[in-house]
Structure 1
């Protein structure tokens, strides 16, 4: 992750984080309770499911992910991908910072991840559409080698 802009630089209004997506990578479905997100693909192809909307976007494509709406993202192509995440209001960038620290020691302890998520109002969920997305895009929880 590349931290482009922290909330401390914008009076808490917005934060910007760049996320890389390795081939085969995905983010589990989750809900933000405090902020809205705006994702802009800058490289590769990234799939998004947010509420009832499902789309694969290339460079320049964007999607809104409003607070309270379950969403997930995945690398939908055969090459590495990147996206810019605009977070409003700011604050969630600190979750990403702490999550990066958790990952430094290998796969994070589920209890530690759950506690960190709760601290930032982030809820992991399994919406009814999750298994369909996994099947359509051949996603796996196993990390690619």
Structure 2
């Protein structure tokens, strides 16, 4: 139970290589901010190019390095550093290092944090499976999330990653 009386349910899911653990639910604070801890193995792409229409994401690196592609610019951030991925900005991120990556994702407002738990119900999925793709697209639309699934092969080839 949160301080506001709202019921909060934490999760700890794997979305392929990307781990997502809800540490602070939006209902636990008046600001409605959520914090998700993510993990990602070495040389791994976390997600296709995507953008959020309703929230900003602020990543804080706990261990390893995160490489972020945002607005066609690639930058790498190490332990103790922050990176802001603002709403409506096409972006993705990966672990280009030799060590596992662990970081906190601060989501403001935090409603998007429940996306990870919902998508885990049918992930991984084959993009050629139209029924599951339709389910993903409906979920994405509900969250104001847009993903370019076709970006995955090019990102993996260009940066020497797997997903």
TM bin, normalised by shorter chain, reads: 0.7 to 0.9
Q: Does the CA contact (< 8 Å) of 1:37 and 1:66 recur in 2? A: yes
Q: Which has the larger radius of gyration?
A: 2
Partner of 2:73: 53
Distance 1:12 1:100, change over 3 A: farther
With a CA cutoff of 8 Å and minimum separation of 6, indicate the structure with the bigger relative contact order.
1
- Aligned-partner Cα distance in 2 for 1:62–1:54: 15
Pick the aligned partner of 1:21 from 40, 50, 60: 40
Partner of 1:33: 53
Number of equivalent positions? 137
Pick the aligned partner of 1:112 from 131, 135, 146: 135
- Aligned-residue CA RMSD (Å): 2.3
After TM superposition, the structure 1 = structure 2 runs for residues 71-82 of structure 1, keeping only pairs within 5 Å, are 71-82=91-102
The structural deviation recorded for 1:126 is 7.1
Distance 1:11 1:97, change over 3 A: farther
Gaps of 5+ in 1: none
1:97 equivalent to 2:120? Answer no
| TM score, norm. by length of structure 1 | 0.82
| TM score, norm. by length of structure 2 | 0.74
Deviation string 1:56-108 (CA, Å, 9 cap, x unpaired) is 122112211110100000111122111100011110011111122222xx436
Partner of 1:125: 148
- Aligned-partner Cα distance in 2 for 1:52–1:123: 17
The structural deviation recorded for 1:25 is 2.3
- Aligned-partner Cα distance in 1 for 2:96–2:111: 28
Distance 1:107 1:126, change over 3 A: closer
Which has the higher mean CA deviation after the structures are superposed, 109-118 or 14-23?
A: 109-118
- Aligned-partner Cα distance in 2 for 1:51–1:57: 16
